[in-house]
């Protein structure tokens, strides 16, 4: 008779509550990120729906780190991976609907898909979302913006779950929006948002979407392994101009390089590690301070541990 396998007493997955979704151990995360770099998740959790996520949060002890992963378009996961549980929203979290209140989008919905959904329904004012490479949840967290508008300009309310599973709703004012920032506590997980619906001429909406798509294609390295805008624009200045003035266009560290097309973008040329990309970003910051006297702030979120065990 075969002996049953013994559970390792230190396995995190054995301490987690029962869910209807799916747990996976030691999952490589690089394939989920735009940079295509980064270490594994200790545990990846794919919740079935909002209720399942709420149950997980309510039943998970506070000492377990929890990180939410969207499409990781503006995220750098370090080479040592992410300890604790990484949550990836899918399924019902990706849905978008038109209601009397506005366009309701799940936090996992791609910004560009929300813009297209609105256009298909004759809703204008959300075209700028097509220029933001990410999900609604990430856009809420950082007050994402492009082409003259930001999330704060269109948000009616956002729904979240706190670390204990408690449900909350925030209107635009309560979100505490500022440039690329929201003051909602970091441990809140956004689950959906209602965006203002403005009827408009479908032809005009389509034309604006085309203009944004053409502008992105012309000015940004959208077909490269990149993470979007690397640094926030300082007040009254453009980060890319400062980076260019500091002589960083085309600068390389290992397999990472500063884009020749738009130098506020870092690119994985194919062999970069997360360490290469972060080191390149820090070198850019150092040179900009030395040349221009301006300290650039990271817009890309950096998470996880370094390969040698160091944290942010």
Which tens digit of pLDDT belongs to each residue from 59-93?
Answer: 999 999 999 999 888 999 999 999 999 999 999 99
* pLDDT tens column, 273-301: 999 999 999 999 999 999 999 999 999 99
If 0-12 CB within 10 Å is exposed, 13-18 middle and 19+ buried, where does residue 218 land? Answer: exposed
What does the mean pLDDT of the chain come to? 93
- The domains of the chain, with CATH numbers, are 12-91 (3.30.43.10), 94-218 (3.30.465.10), 223-303 (3.90.78.10)
pLDDT at residue 4 is higher than 80:
no
Give percent of the chain above pLDDT 70. Answer: 96
Mean pLDDT of 111-136: 95
Q: Give residue 6's pLDDT.
A: 35
Mean pLDDT of 222-245: 92
| Residues designated catalytic | 180, 229, 299
Q: Is residue 114 very low, low, confident or very high in pLDDT (cuts 50, 70, 90)?
A: very high
pLDDT at residue 222 is higher than 90:
no
Q: What is the pTM assigned to this prediction?
A: 0.89
Q: Give residue 310's pLDDT.
A: 52
* pLDDT tens column, 139-182: 999 999 999 999 999 999 999 999 999 999 999 999 999 999 99
Q: Give residue 309's pLDDT.
A: 56
pLDDT at residue 31 is higher than 80:
yes
């Amino acid at each position: 008779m075969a002996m049953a396998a013994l559970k390792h007493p230190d396995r995190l997955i054995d301490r987690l509550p029962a869910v209807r979704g799916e747990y996976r151990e030691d999952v490589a995360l690089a394939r989920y990120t735009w940079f295509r770099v980064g270490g594994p998740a200790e545990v990846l959790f794919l919740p079935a729906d909002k209720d399942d996520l709420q149950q997980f949060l309510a039943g998970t002890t506070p000492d377990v780190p929890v990180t939410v992963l969207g499409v990781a378009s503006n995220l750098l996961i370090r080479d040592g991976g992410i300890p604790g549980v990484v949550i990836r929203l899918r399924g019902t979290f990706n849905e978008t609907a038109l209601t009397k209140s506005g366009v309701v989008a799940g936090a996992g919905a791609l910004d560009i898909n929300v813009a297209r959904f609105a256009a298909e329904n004759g809703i204008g004012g959300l075209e700028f979302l097509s220029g933001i490479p990410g999900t609604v949840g990430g856009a809420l967290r950082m007050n994402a913006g492009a082409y003259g508008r930001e999330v704060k300009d269109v948000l009616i309310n956002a729904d979240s779950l706190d670390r204990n599973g408690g449900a909350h709703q925030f209107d635009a004012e309560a979100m505490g929006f500022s440039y690329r920032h929201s003051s909602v506590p970091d441990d809140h997980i956004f689950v959906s948002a209602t965006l203002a619906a403005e009827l408009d001429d479908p032809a005009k909406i389509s034309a604006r979407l085309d203009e944004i798509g053409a502008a992105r294609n012309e000015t940004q390295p959208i077909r490269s392994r990149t993470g979007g805008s690397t640094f926030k624009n300082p007040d009254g200045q453009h980060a890319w101009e400062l980076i260019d003035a500091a002589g960083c266009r085309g600068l390389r560290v290992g397999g990472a390089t500063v884009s020749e097309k738009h130098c506020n973008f870092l690119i994985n040329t194919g062999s970069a590690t997360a360490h290469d990309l972060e080191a390149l970003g820090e070198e850019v910051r150092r040179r900009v301070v030395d040349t221009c006297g301006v300290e650039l702030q990271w817009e890309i979120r950096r998470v996880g541990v370094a390969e040698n065990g160091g944290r942010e």
